[in-house]
Chains A and B, each alone.
Chain A
Amino acid sequence: MAVRTEQLAPAAAGTVHGTGYQLRRLIFRLLDYGLMILLAIFFLFPLIFMLVSSLKGDEGQVLRDMSSLQAFVPSSISFQNYQDVFKNVPFGRNMLNSVIVTGGIVALGLLVNSMIAYSLARINFRGRSIVLAVVVSLIIIPFQAVAVPLLLLVNSLPSFGLGKPGWIDSYHVQIIPFVADAFSIFLFYQFFIAIPKDLEEAALVDGAGRFRIYWSIIIPLSKPVFATVAILQFLSRWGELLWPVMVTRGDSYRPLPVAMQTFFGQQPRQWGDIMAFAAMVTIPVLVIFLIFQRWFVQSVTSTGVKG
């Protein structure tokens, strides 16, 4: 990763500089690592606190330990809290809902957003520049500013015979409004215009259609941008709280963030159970993140470089 600290701290210093220099360098290095370890503790302690508390089966223990370093010592490992969560709330259902909603948005979004981006980047159709300008300007509209009228809108849409008024309390009400995303289109567009045209030209000469080209040339060449958009959309949709608070009524379609908030709101608060719930929400994503770490890093960085 790091490329050039080598020049900042002249290496192979021992021979050129004296031992005093080496000692200074050693101290500096220790301070450097010390600082980074302190920061690591700062970023990790709430998560460790969550995990350790969730493993303390006795609620009294959780509360007694919360004010000292005991909070980070799993004195006795018990899965009682986890069992309680499964007993009291349909956690599995909430998880499934989150997976369906987020998965649906990401999968459909990849298709829909890359398709329009391809036509904007490669086909010179009438109205192209207007569509492009509108899409780019839509990036600025915050979802929060349209949430309330959107609620009214989805409330009045036909319900596909589900026996309820409107779209409220369903999967599609949580998926469809988020599929098309102006920023994703923009990321795809930027990537596509940078792909050399030669391959496509050759395919066009050979009589391949645009859909064929999009499917068998563009998509295989664009894996990085597909990964970027998928990860960014995942990160922003998986934790979405505002919209599902407004459009879900019960546990049947409720995703994890709302379920977390509702579980937290139940009195009396059982902190052990709450931490077990929080841990079960967090750990799967953490594992996925650790496995696909490289892609996460690349996708985040690719959003920033264009300024």
Chain B
Amino acid sequence: MSVQNTVVPRSGNWRKGEERTAWLLATPAILLLGSFLIVPFLMAVYFSFTDQRLVPNPNLETQFIGFRNYQRMLDDDTLKHALLNNFTFVIVVVPIQTGLALALALLVNQKLRAMNLFRTIYFTPVVTIMAVVAVIWYFLYNPGSGLINSFLQSITFGLFKPVDWLGDKNLALPSIMVLSIWQGVGFQMLIFLAGLQEIPDSLYEAADIDGASRWQQFRNVTIPGLRNTILFVVISTTILAFRLFDQIWVMTKGAPEDSTATMVLHIVQQGFSQQKVGYASAISVFFFLLVLTISILQRVFIKEERHV
């Protein structure tokens, strides 16, 4: 990336002025990122080897305890549940949300009347904050005669028996998945829509002339044309899914029996509610490494794909 190859006359003084200006422009952001992202990150690494507490006990000095926090993680059942829940969430939600987003994008990309309206409607949940979404769905999931129970009962002519969606340890996480998809899918739909509109019309015209069916056109023109978009959506949805917190915090706080525990919830409960900053930091470092590894794996995957 060449930045300067200009005809502007430049003396040594001018260069010095340029350097100074550049750093002046860059300094606020560098200071802020340094103080509120890099320093806390290094603190997390450091604290993870100590028994640091949120409000230090004046009689009990914070000590260096080596890898004991990391060892503790091995015996932490809630952490294991959290990890499992995060992976389950990702494995279920990412494909469904990506698929649904693509389907919605294909629908609203049709050249028909009122497409703008449908696009707006499908995007509406995205501008609703998660705390509100969680509260509304909590009401909808009401055990007994909540709307969702009653709806399922009436469409199955009474075969369906009302359940306690958020209180049953097998149903709580799937219930939260549904509202998470409901809230987030509109965002990915728009990204797919942009991807669809970048595919040149000529490709479809050519396919038409060759007598390709709509399904063949979808398989051989649309999907290859969207490859980078699909990977972007998969990566960003995966990372977002690993950060799962808001809806859990409002609705279940990990209950019942850790069935909705997540990594971020566990970090907050250990570090903030129980004030064990050292231990929470160890989980944070692990969480970061996990997200990093997954992003790197996915990025490697993209690179390979692009060379094909």
Supplied contacts A67-B146, A285-B128, 17 more A-B pairs, CB within 8 Å: A2-B110, A36-B107, A43-B122, A43-B186, A152-B54, A152-B277, A177-B32, A201-B6, A239-B130, A242-B245, A245-B268, A256-B131, A275-B136, A281-B131, A296-B127, A301-B190, A303-B191
Top 6 A-B pairs, shortest CB-CB distance? A304-B191, A239-B129, A307-B228, A301-B194, A148-B271, A180-B32
Is the CB–CB distance between A5 and B208 below 8 Å?
Answer: no
Chain A, Cβ-Cβ closest to B14: A204
Is the CB–CB distance between A145 and B284 below 8 Å?
Answer: yes
Total number of residue pairs linking A and B with CB closer than 8 Å: 337
Complex Cα gap A179–B147 (Å): 41
Chain A, Cβ-Cβ closest to B41: A146
Most buried by A among B26, B133, B239: B26
Residues of A within 8 A of B107 (CB): 32, 35-36, 39
Is the CB–CB distance between B3 and A121 below 8 Å?
Answer: yes
Interface flags for B27-54 (1: CB within 8 Å of A; 0: not) read 0111011011111110110010000101
30 sample A-B contacts, Cβ–Cβ < 8 Å, listed by A number: A4-B201, A5-B112, A49-B140, A49-B147, A66-B139, A66-B145, A112-B28, A116-B25, A116-B29, A119-B22, A122-B3, A123-B25, A124-B3, A125-B23, A135-B29, A138-B33, A140-B291, A145-B287, A146-B40, A149-B281, A153-B36, A241-B245, A242-B245, A245-B272, A261-B250, A281-B129, A285-B128, A301-B194, A304-B190, A305-B194
Question: Nearest Cβ distance between residue A202 and chain B, in whole angstroms?
Answer: 10
Tell me if A286 counts as interface (CB < 8 A to partner B): yes
Tell me the count of chain B residues lying within 8 A, CB to CB, of chain A: 112
Give the interface residue-count category, chain A.
Answer: 35 or more
Complex Cα gap A234–B109 (Å): 27
Is the CB–CB distance between A67 and B295 below 8 Å?
Answer: no
Tell me if B258 counts as interface (CB < 8 A to partner A): no
Question: Nearest Cβ distance between residue A274 and chain B, in whole angstroms?
Answer: 6
Chain A, Cβ-Cβ closest to B129: A239
Is the CB–CB distance between A150 and B26 below 8 Å?
Answer: no
Residues of B within 8 A of A100 (CB): none
Tell me if A12 counts as interface (CB < 8 A to partner B): no
Is the CB–CB distance between B131 and A260 below 8 Å?
Answer: yes
Is the CB–CB distance between B267 and A141 below 8 Å?
Answer: no
Tell me if A128 counts as interface (CB < 8 A to partner B): yes
Residues of B within 8 A of A (CB): 1, 3-4, 6-8, 18-19, 21-23, 25-26, 28-30, 32-33, 35-41, 43-44, 47, 52, 54, 104, 107-112, 115-116, 118-133, 135-140, 142, 145-147, 149-150, 182, 186-187, 190-195, 197-198, 201, 204-205, 208, 214, 217, 228-229, 231-233, 239, 242-243, 245-246, 249-250, 264, 267-268, 271-272, 277, 280-281, 284-285, 287-288, 291-292, 295, 302
Is the CB–CB distance between A2 and B38 below 8 Å?
Answer: no
Question: Nearest Cβ distance between residue A112 and chain B, in whole angstroms?
Answer: 5
Tell me if A40 counts as interface (CB < 8 A to partner B): yes
Is the CB–CB distance between A246 and B268 below 8 Å?
Answer: yes
With A40-B122, A179-B32: A144-B267 Cβ-Cβ less than 8 Å: yes
Residues of A within 8 A of B (CB): 1-8, 29, 32-33, 35-36, 39-40, 42-44, 46-47, 49-50, 53, 66-68, 71, 112-113, 115-116, 118-126, 128, 131, 135, 138, 140-142, 144-153, 155, 176-180, 182, 185, 193, 197, 201, 204-205, 209-211, 214, 235, 238-239, 241-242, 245-246, 256-258, 260-261, 264, 271, 274-275, 278, 281-282, 285-286, 289-290, 293, 296-297, 300-307
Q: Which secondary structure dominates chain A's binding surface?
A: helix
Question: Nearest Cβ distance between residue A107 and chain B, in whole angstroms?
Answer: 13
Complex Cα gap A71–B139 (Å): 12
Complex Cα gap A68–B148 (Å): 10
Is the CB–CB distance between A142 and B243 below 8 Å?
Answer: yes
Complex Cα gap A42–B186 (Å): 12
Complex Cα gap A47–B267 (Å): 32
Most buried by B among A128, A214, A274, A304: A304
Is the CB–CB distance between A274 and B135 below 8 Å?
Answer: yes
Complex Cα gap A258–B287 (Å): 24
Is the CB–CB distance between A149 and B29 below 8 Å?
Answer: no
Residues of A within 8 A of B127 (CB): 235, 285-286, 289, 296
Question: Nearest Cβ distance between residue A115 and chain B, in whole angstroms?
Answer: 4
Is the CB–CB distance between B295 and A140 below 8 Å?
Answer: yes
